Amino acid sequence: MQLVARALIDGTPCPGEIAGDRFHVIDGDILGEHQRRGHSVPALEAVLLAPLAGVRFINVMGGFKMPGGLGADLPPMWLPKANNYPSGDGAEIPIPAILTGPVVIESELAVVVGQPLRKASADEARRAIFGWTVFNDITAQEYGPMGFWAVGKSIDGFASWGPWIRRDLTEERVLDGLAISSTVNGIQVQSGNTKLFKFPPSEMLSHISHRITLFPGDVVALGTPPPPAEVTAGDHTVCSVEEVGALNNHFVEDSVVSHGQAPTRSSSSLARSTDRRTDDR
């Protein structure tokens, strides 16, 4: 398994590779040429962050086939998720007091772009895939009935992803079927499978690239199995994708996190994610 991640090592964010039970710090471009620095720490001691910093998120809308073929004739739909303070495994996610409706989680498989894509074919897009990760697409649903999904998905902190990027996973394996699930306080609330994607990931990347150029590091979340699950402050959630990983988050009241600062994290979830790195090792 080829896993790349980013972690706090002695208080400094460092890119690295996870191999066995070690986090190996790397020098260079995690998306390009890099090499191990010769320094590693036990994986359980590496406080994992979002795998990349300063990247752009795009949400696929209606990405799953619906019972009875509902919506099968609709073209690909997607929207930018203009989110500040995205976080990684173990992060605490604040729920703003200003919201009046439900907040939901959406467990998703996301694809990370590794090369620039502009007006790309599906084959070109497939070759440009850097890797795959778990995405928790948090959404304030009160904006949906008005059609303002981009607002509901772009609230500060309403994006978490990781715990790492898996590089050695093929699109063919994804389309064969990987289980997607989520739990809230240990109770399963979502269940689906990537074999039910309406469009192959490479076709989605191609479609997007004919409208906006995709750049290395862009993260395209491929949709969630319905229905999304409601969460409130105090809830612990786990979003999982088979053969990719499990992403832990804790929801807190808005007042717990200082404004202007990135969400904090709970170290209690780190061991769980490392232990659940794969189901196929």
Each residue's pLDDT tens digit, 147-189: 899 999 999 999 999 999 999 999 999 999 999 999 999 999 9
Q: What is the pLDDT along the chain (281 residues), one digit of tens a residue?
A: 899 999 998 889 999 999 989 999 999 999 999 999 889 999 888 899 999 999 999 999 989 987 766 666 778 899 999 999 999 999 999 999 999 999 999 999 999 999 999 999 999 999 999 999 999 999 999 998 788 999 999 999 999 999 999 999 999 999 999 999 999 999 999 999 999 999 999 999 999 999 999 999 999 999 999 899 999 999 999 999 999 999 999 999 986 554 444 444 444 334 444 444 443 33
What structural domains does the chain harbor? Answer: 54-275 (3.90.850.10)
Q: Which two tokens stand for residue 28?
A: 């260079």
Cis peptide preceding 227, ω within 30 of 0: yes
**pLDDT value, residue 147:** 81
Q: Which two tokens stand for residue 239?
A: 């979003």
Answer whether 134's CB lies under 8 Å from 243's CB: no
Answer whether 125's CB lies under 8 Å from 42's CB: no
- For residue 145, how many other CB atoms are within 10 A of its CB? 8
Residue-wise pLDDT tens digits, 116-136: 999 999 999 999 999 999 999
**pLDDT value, residue 68:** 65
> Which one, of 152, 58, 49, lies nearest residue 96 by Cα?
152
**pLDDT value, residue 69:** 64
245-253 and 91-95 strand pairing: parallel
Answer whether 266's CB lies under 8 Å from 256's CB: no
> Which one, of 55, 79, 72, lies nearest residue 207 by Cα?
79
